[in-house]
Amino acid sequence: MKILLFLLMTILALCPTVSAETLEERVKNLENALNRQEQIIREQQKKIEQLSGQKEQIQTEVIQTTGVDSREKERSAVRDYRLDDRSKAIAMQSASPISPYQITEKQTPSLLNPSISLIFDSLYYQTNLSEEELEEREIPGYVALHEHGEGSHSHGHGTFEKGFNLRSAELTIFAPVDPYFNLYATIPFTEDGSEVEEAYFVTTSLPAGLQIKGGKFKSGFGRFNAFHPHAWDFVDAPLPYTAFLGGEGLIEKGIQFTYLPPLPVYTLLGFEILQGENEVLYGEEAKSGPHAYTGFAKMSLDFGEYNTILWGISVTGGETKTESIEHETEFSGNSVLYGAELTYKWKPSKDRSLILQSEYLLRHQTGDFEYLEDSTVDSLKRTQDGLYLQGLYQIDRWRIGARYDVLSIFKDTYKLAGEEEDFGDNPYRLTGSLEFNPTEFSRLRLQYTYDKSAGNGKENNEIFLQLILGIGAHGAHSF
Amino acid sequence: MIKKIALCIVFVFMFMGTAFGELRVVVTLPWIGSLVNEIGKYRVHLDVIVKATQDPHFVEAKPSMILAVRKADVLMYNGLDLEIGYLPVLIESSRNQKIQSGMAGNVDCSRYVKVIDHPDKVDRSMGDVHPFGNPHYHFSPKNIERVAAGITEVLSRLDTGNADFFRKNMAVFSSKLHGKESAWKAKHFHGKKVIAYHKLFEYLAADFGLTISGYVEPKPGIPPSVAYIGRLIEKMKEERIHTVITTSLYPRKEVDFIADKTGARVIVLPHDVGSMPEIVDWFTLMDTVLTRLQ
Ligand SMILES: [Zn+2]
């Protein structure tokens, strides 16, 4: 209820107040408009009757287009259209206004059926680590890969199996509901079953550049977060996202308000109220009801014909209860995650492009750290950060990529019961990739990653060979 | 509470109905912009999203485009899925009610067109085909006249004060076109055989008696293999085809290779208004295309 009220208040606040006078005026205008409309319809009806009578005659008429005054010309042009069975169309569209040129307006079938697509995402994975070492791999001081839930195969970092992997076959359905709502659903099928990854509506017709998104959706936090795994620039998520949000990013039930102000520079402001179920940052047991909030501001500018830059800042914060920090422990307290993003795109033609992208994330967490075995409680206060830098260069159907992602780059404090803990070397990785994209609907990717994210643990040399195929509707690409 | 909701709803609707001055028209492709110019002249404000240097099949959404669409009173596009890769994103992100699908300001120009090449059955093993028929109808004077008439109607409906002005301009456009048509008709190609790069000129072929015997692309959007080029060269020699038509958007390597092996003439045609400096509107586009083809 509170949310509803809030929603209404926002709309209210953003709508310009209308005085009683203009209200009256508007009603009067509306009345006049209605009257006019009625008259038009009457005239229209008359015309239609005339037309149906003339139809046969017109079809054999020879038309001269050499009239001198423009009225004459216009009339002859009108007849031209009537010639090819347009008169039939006019007669049928009795509601259409005064149109001499009116012709059959057909609906595109794509408007009537939902767009459905299926995206297949599979890979072959090889590493120097054993299956056991892989399973036990974690990022010390950040996340422990806890073995709860069988279905956590696809949950990001280090969870690929050696050999063949089927990441998912992802079903996406989209259609406008009516002129006011669009509806989306994304349902990835994995070997462990299926889940509704996203299902949300988006309003299209709120006034003043407002938009509401609701349901379960990928948060507008940061840049990388919005993309589905098959649309990622590399096989896996960058370290800061894995460390602070888990392998899938921030996907939450909730509501999002965005505002596109009428400025000469693209600016998008957003605010979200979220349930707060992300297992790494929040946790559904932290509090019943929504307990996480997100805000973001994004901007973009074009330079010349071929260059675009996008930048933005985001913040998400809320109450936390998670078992993901260390084994056999539970943390409850508060978390805030800050993000800054910068992307540069150069695209002189369809055969060539360069994208440079970077994001910086900083997470601040304070609360109680409980050891589940003996129920002792310590205070935990940690402020840690991470960064990734990546570049992708495309020539024709080929694309090469490089990425550097790192944690604890500028800030790393981890105070347990007031004592600073040391987890060894800064976690980082180096990645290189080569893609071949036969068409827009297929992608073959070879990726090598040198992974030094396990602190003083073993380094991981990973090779991925990934194949992504899409069938069905041609989805529009986000920017 | 209920009062508040009601009030709020009233305000929302009030705001939706804000009055405007000059009609703001946003179009995707330059040729649509040219038609809007012919009809609306200085009494509409025109924004064109796609540059003439871009291949209309591979346009990507940019935030700056959203800004243009946000302010639009009417959005006019080619349709037949040519803009499928970016337009849905722009329409949704614009938060502009007037141009949502189903609204009066959402104008799919292909609805006025007699579409050709409508495939009986489509799957993508056939390449990136256009599933609703060939979308490149802007080379067809007959269809363009209908589109211009449709544009006139939409503009007149949305800006009733200027309806007479728009209709007058349409009549002028129509008669100019009819005048041109007889000159263009004189350039009938009588079945002249050519090879084209992409299925871009099918309407032109249909209207002006050109026979397109083959394509440099084996399938739409798929670059040719060496073997395919070999077969195409054989075919050109056998059928005595001496012309290859392409645009500045497509790679020259294969085209030049074919020309070299067969002695064929390569004709580079403009694909849209603005793609060559002398092409300032739709009429000069047609003039240039037909002159170059001679
Ligand atoms: Zn095409």
Q: Taking all residues of chain B, what is their mean pLDDT, rounded to a whole number?
A: 86
Inspect the interface and report whether the beta carbons of B67 and A80 lie closer than 8 Å.
no
Q: Is B225 exposed, middle or buried (0-12, 13-18, 19+ CB in 10 A)?
A: exposed
| Per-residue confidence (pLDDT) for residue A153, from 0 to 100 | 39
- Is residue A289 over pLDDT 80? yes
Domain residue limits at B8: 2-183
Chain A residue numbers touching B95 (CB-CB < 8 A): 203-206, 209-211, 260
> Are B196 and B120 found together in one domain?
no
Test A439 with B17 for CB contact under 8 angstroms. no
Question: Which residues of chain B are within 8 Å of residue A102 when distances are taken between CB atoms?
Answer: 153
**Percentage of chain B surpassing pLDDT 90?**
40
Residue B216 sits in the same domain as residue B169? no
Q: What is the mean pLDDT of residues B205-229?
A: 87
Are B77 and B123 in a shared domain?
yes
Per-residue confidence (pLDDT) for residue A465, from 0 to 100: 96
Residue A92's pLDDT is: 32
- What is the distance between the alpha carbons of residues A47 and A52, in angstroms, rounded to a whole number? 9
More confident residue, A462 or A102: A462
What percentage of chain A reaches a pLDDT higher than 90?
Answer: 41
* Same domain membership, residue B151 and residue B193: no
pLDDT of A132 reads: 82
Long-range contacts from A286-292, C-beta under 8 angstroms, 24+ separation: A286/A318, A286/A319, A286/A320, A286/A321, A286/A332, A287/A319, A287/A321, A290/A3, A290/A254, A291/A318, A291/A319, A292/A252, A292/A254, A292/A316, A292/A317, A292/A318, A292/A319
Whether residue B54 sits in one domain with residue B36? yes
Verify whether the Cβ–Cβ distance A103 to B64 is below 8 Å: no
* Cβ atoms B192, B210 nearer than 8 A: yes
In the predicted structure, residue A63 carries a pLDDT above the cut 60: no
Structure tokens at A85: 């069975």
Is residue B173 located within the same domain as residue B258?
no
pLDDT for res A187: 93
Q: What is the pLDDT of residue A323?
A: 85
Residue A285 neighbours by CB distance under 10 Å = 15
CA distances from A301 to A239, A244, A378, B64 (A): 28, 29, 48, 7
Give the model's pLDDT for residue B5: 56
* Mean pLDDT of the region B23-36: 94
- Can you give the pTM of this predicted structure? 0.77
Q: How confident is the model at residue B4 (pLDDT cuts 50, 70, 90)?
A: low
Select from B167, B183, B199 the last residue of a domain: B183
Q: Which of A67-71, A344-348, B27-31, B273-277 has the lowest mean pLDDT?
A: A67-71
- Res. A15 pLDDT band, cuts 50 70 90: very low
Ligand 1: distance of its center to the CA of B202 in Å?
10
pLDDT per residue as tens digits for the range A37-59: 556 555 555 554 454 444 433 33
Q: In chain B, which residue's Cα lies nearest the Cα of A74?
A: B171
Cα–Cα distance, A389 to A32 (Å, whole number): 61
Same domain for B176 and B196?
no
How far, in Å, from the CA of A393 to the mean position of ligand 1?
A: 26
Q: Between chains, do A179 and B153 touch, taking CB under 8 Å as contact?
A: no
Tell me: do B41 and B105 sit in the same domain: yes
Distance CA B170, CA A74 (A): 8
Of the candidates A261, A271, A274, the residue with the CA atom closest to the CA atom of residue A319 = A274
Q: Do B175 and A77 count as a contact with CB atoms less than 8 A apart?
A: yes
> Using one digit for the tens of pLDDT, what is the confidence trace for B104-129?
899 999 999 888 877 666 666 666 66
Q: What is the DSSP string of A192-208?
A: TEE--SEEEEEES--ST
pLDDT of residue A244: 92
Provide the pLDDT for residue A88: 33
Confidence of residue A154 (pLDDT cuts 50, 70, 90): very low
Dist CA A99 CA A113 (whole Å): 30
How far is Cα B154 from Cα B168, in angstroms, rounded to an integer?
Answer: 14
Report ipTM for this prediction. 0.80
A120: pLDDT strictly greater than 50: yes
The contacts of residue A389 (CB under 8 Å, 6+ apart) are A356, A357, A358, A403, A404, A405
Give me the number of domains chain B comprises.
Answer: 2
Give the pLDDT band (50/70/90) at residue A13. Answer: very low
Ligand 1 centre distance from Cα of residue A11 (Å): 43
Whichever domain contains B130, its CATH number is: 3.40.50.1980
Mean pLDDT of A403-416: 88
Please provide the DSSP assignment of B220-247 as one string. Answer: TTBPPPHHHHHHHHHHHHHTT--EEEEE
Q: Which DSSP letter does residue A143 get?
A: B
Residues B143 and B258 in one domain: no
Alpha carbon of A441 to ligand 1 centroid (Å): 16
Do residue B172 and residue A110 have CB atoms under 8 angstroms apart?
A: no
Reported as a single tens digit per residue, the pLDDT across B94-108 is: 999 899 888 889 999
CB-CB under 8 Å, A264 with B67: yes
Q: Which of B183, B202, B233 is the last residue of a domain?
A: B183
Boundary (domain end) residue, out of B183, B207, B235: B183
Task: Verify that B101 and B197 share a domain, yes or no.
Answer: no
pLDDT exceeds 90 at position A401: yes
Chain B residues with CB-CB distance to A204 below 8 A: 91-92, 95, 97, 100
